Amino acid sequence: MESKASVTDNYNLHFNPKAYLERYYSSVEGYVEEEEGVLPWTLEILHSIFSHEGVSGDRLIDIGTGPCIYSFVSSCTKFKEIVVGEYSEQNRNALKRWVDNEPGSFDWSSIIEHVCQLEGHSEFKERESLLRKTIKDIIPCDVRLANPLIGHASPQKFDCMSSAYCLEVACRSKPEYVKCLKNMAGLLKTGGLFVQLCEPLSFYRLGDWVFEGILLDEAFLKSALEEAGFTQIICRSRKRTSTAGENTYYDFTFVISAMKE
Ligand SMILES: C[S@@+](CC[C@H](N)C(=O)[O-])C[C@H]1O[C@@H](n2cnc3c(N)ncnc32)[C@H](O)[C@@H]1O
């Protein structure tokens, strides 16, 4: 029976990391039926931000990481430490299993290989082990809290923050989105870079569950960032090309970079 998930808690109760990873990240092409071209497009931009634009520092925090490491394949060469903040326990466990190289953990090699090719080399085994070493901590996190990193009352601020497809499913309204963004901004140093992947959607289906999100446009995403204290906002957008699928509804994918004032 299909049930409707309407609260963040459903990421603890009903989110299946294995099903999610197999659908969206089994190959560089991603989830072709519903999101043709999105994954390679985002990997190319992440590569460009972290390899070409001179972004670097000591510590990067990623928020709402899910069971995923694809966004770190580029950034792990530029930061000494990556800290993960993720709400769902099963996602944190899936990530830990990958970091510990446990048998049966998800195989990210095609995506790692692809990013290495974008960089013009084939040292993907070295990149995989660098990535495993660079992920230093995996922390429970809730963006609705003033301090999102649970159990870390006043964490040292980070040089860079990234987040992919999190706020648009964690928040139920525009005011809540702005509030959560402000909570996240509190983790970043002044002058620090925020890299956000965002796909405002009304819902997506995974297994027997429907996970809700909110549909937001580019103007709102930019104004929310300004209200949360960000400047130098660059927003790249990609219009959805596939219309066939029934497992989600969204219009655009965005990759945004912005600097904390
Ligand atoms: C659609 S998944 C995105 C996962 C991954 N970042 C990716 O790029 O595929 C949304 C993620 O946001 C997390 N999430 C949901 N509500 C959250 C909250 N209140 N605080 C932090 N993370 C949350 C979920 O547990 C899930 O891992």
Residue extents of the structural domains in the chain: 3-260
Amino acid 7: pLDDT: 62
Interval 91-130: pLDDT, tens: 999 999 999 999 999 999 999 999 999 999 999 999 999 9
Amino acid 119: pLDDT: 96
Q: Confirm or reject: Cβ of 69 under 6 Å from ligand 1.
A: no
Mean pLDDT to the nearest integer, 55-68: 96
Which protein residue's CA is at the shortest distance from atom 3 of ligand 1? Answer: 165
Amino acid 244: pLDDT: 67
User: In ligand 1, which atom is closest to the CA atom of 71?
Assistant: 8
Choose one of 87, 181, 202, 214 to mutate for the ligand 1 pocket test, by most ligand atoms within 8 angstroms of C-beta.
87
Amino acid 255: pLDDT: 98
Mean pLDDT to the nearest integer, 169-188: 97
In terms of Cα–Cα distance, which of 13, 111, 8 is closest to 64? 8
Amino acid 246: pLDDT: 86
Q: Confirm or reject: Cβ of 183 under 6 Å from ligand 1.
A: no
pLDDT for residue 6 is more than 50: no
Q: Confirm or reject: Cβ of 64 under 6 Å from ligand 1.
A: yes
Over the Cα atoms of the chain, what is R_g?
17
Amino acid 51: pLDDT: 85
Amino acid 9: pLDDT: 85
Mean pLDDT to the nearest integer, 50-56: 82
Q: Are 166 and 141 in contact (CB under 8 A)?
A: no
Q: What CA–CA distance (Å, rounded) separates 193 from 206?
A: 32
Amino acid 32: pLDDT: 87
Q: Confirm or reject: Cβ of 12 under 6 Å from ligand 1.
A: no
Token pair recorded at residue 203: 């819902």
Q: Confirm or reject: Cβ of 65 under 6 Å from ligand 1.
A: yes
Interval 200-226: pLDDT, tens: 999 999 998 999 999 999 999 999 999
Q: How far is the CA of 89 from the centre of ligand 1 (A)?
A: 11
Percent of the chain with pLDDT over 90: 87
The backbone torsions φ and ψ at residue 240, rounded to the nearest 5 degrees and listed phi first, read -65, 135
Interval 79-101: pLDDT, tens: 999 999 999 999 999 999 999 99
Q: Can you give the pTM of this predicted structure?
A: 0.96
3-260 fold: Rossmann fold (3.40.50)
The contacts of residue 41 (CB under 8 Å, 6+ apart) are 238, 253, 255
Task: Kindly report the average pLDDT of the chain as a whole number.
Answer: 94
pLDDT for residue 261 is more than 70: yes
* CA-to-CA separations, 21 to 15, 24, 135, in angstroms, rounded: 11, 5, 19
